[in-house]
Amino acid sequence: MKRIAIYLIKWAIIFLVASILVFTVVRMMPSTPVDKWLDAYHLPHTEENVAFMTQKMGLDKPLYAQYVQWIGNFLHGDWGVSLVSGEDIRQRFLDKMPYSFSIGILGLLIGAASSFFLGYRAALHRNRFCDRLTTFLTIFSQSVPMFVLSILIINAFSVRLRIASFFTGDGKYAIVASILLTALYATGGLSRVVRSAFRDEMSKSYVKFMVSRGFSRETVLLRHAYKPPLASLVSAVITRFAGVFGGSTVLEFAFAIPGLSTMLVSAMDSRDYAILQTYILVVIIWMFLVHLVLNLVLHLIGARRDA
């Protein structure tokens, strides 16, 4: 219970400090939502117009009062409205989350599953096909920008072969392509993590002893030595889950997917403080949930190993 209490207190402090920093930093941007709103409607920046819009957006109150009102409403489930469009922010998030979440979560899960298999095969057979494939995927993901590959896929399958239409219809082809690309770019690095963990286990005495008793290395690794590599994979995936929100920005723009990333870029362009603040706090809450669930998985793996 003490560890749980410390864990929750740590994340509560992170949330509080981050909310203050976010509230402060977004207001240090070179222009304000009032300026952007007046520019969008081609209105002069007179004192009367600026004062009217500042009051209408609620930016005329002292900063501490704005912060207390915002964070209090957020904790009660009221995420406020967009300063520019007046839309309900929570509803906008709920409308766009399925796109970003389907790309990020499904892509990572597929990438993690394929990484475990490739890493296992690469550890068993050094310098063979799977081992070289993991190396190639790692170098490929680090050297070829995802945007370039997205454009090549659109040109090949939509323009030349005319197999799939990415910008018309219900967008299923764009979502599927984005999920597969996310999985592809995650597989290389994660598979090398798994390979390294399996190689470490292969050098341990209990694996060597079981192999010397006549058990095949494949059986020993999959049935008895899979927990440490699985734990390494889960630990590596934790950091990548932060990209569920912002990591799909390139894909959402390349395939014209109306996800959270496009909303964020639009909010940054219009200096919409309310959306920017809420976005970052939601990312922090998401990372808390990811850490909670995956640390629980790691705990269960360790508990079973000790049993």
Q: Is 232 helix (H, G, I), strand (E, B) or coil?
A: helix
In which residue are the tokens 């600026």 written?
50
The predicted pLDDT at position 246 comes to 64
* Residue 87, domain member (yes or no): no
Within this chain, do residues 39 and 122 fall inside the same structural domain, yes or no? Answer: no
Residue type, 18: A
Q: What does the alpha-carbon distance between residue 192 and residue 190 come to, in Å, rounded to a whole number? A: 5
The predicted pLDDT at position 71 comes to 92
Residue type, 30: P
The predicted pLDDT at position 247 comes to 64
Within this chain, do residues 284 and 246 fall inside the same structural domain, yes or no? Answer: no
* Residue 86, domain member (yes or no): no
Within this chain, do residues 121 and 222 fall inside the same structural domain, yes or no? Answer: yes
Backbone dihedral angles phi then psi of residue 81, each to the nearest 5 degrees: -125, 155
Q: What share of the chain is helix, strand, coil (3-state, %, to 5)?
A: 80, 0, 20
Q: What does the alpha-carbon distance between residue 111 and residue 59 come to, in Å, rounded to a whole number? A: 45
Say if CB 213 and CB 291 are below 8 A apart. no
* Residue 101, domain member (yes or no): yes
Q: Is 81 helix (H, G, I), strand (E, B) or coil?
A: strand
Based on the structure, what is the number of domains in the chain? 2
Within this chain, do residues 122 and 235 fall inside the same structural domain, yes or no? Answer: yes
Say if CB 225 and CB 202 are below 8 A apart. yes
The predicted pLDDT at position 245 comes to 66
Within this chain, do residues 126 and 254 fall inside the same structural domain, yes or no? Answer: yes
Q: What does the alpha-carbon distance between residue 112 and residue 251 come to, in Å, rounded to a whole number? A: 19
Q: pTM of the entire structure? A: 0.82
Whichever domain contains 108, its CATH number is 1.10.3720.10
Within this chain, do residues 217 and 233 fall inside the same structural domain, yes or no? Answer: yes
Within this chain, do residues 25 and 144 fall inside the same structural domain, yes or no? Answer: no
Within this chain, do residues 202 and 64 fall inside the same structural domain, yes or no? Answer: no
* Residue 88, domain member (yes or no): no
Within this chain, do residues 168 and 233 fall inside the same structural domain, yes or no? Answer: yes
Within this chain, do residues 135 and 258 fall inside the same structural domain, yes or no? Answer: yes
**In 3D, which of 188, 196, 185, 177 has the Cα closest to residue 115?**
188
Strand partners, 278: none
The predicted pLDDT at position 166 comes to 85
Backbone dihedral angles phi then psi of residue 165, each to the nearest 5 degrees: -110, 110
Q: What does the alpha-carbon distance between residue 241 and residue 39 come to, in Å, rounded to a whole number? A: 37
Within this chain, do residues 51 and 111 fall inside the same structural domain, yes or no? Answer: no
Within this chain, do residues 160 and 282 fall inside the same structural domain, yes or no? Answer: no
Domain membership of residue 11 as a residue range:
1-81+271-307
**pLDDT, averaged in runs of 10, over the chain (307 residues):** 82 90 88 87 89 89 91 89 86 88 90 94 90 94 91 91 81 90 92 93 88 85 87 85 72 87 85 89 86 81 49
Alpha carbon distances (Å) from 128 to 119, 135, 140 = 12, 11, 18
DSSP assigned state of 156: I
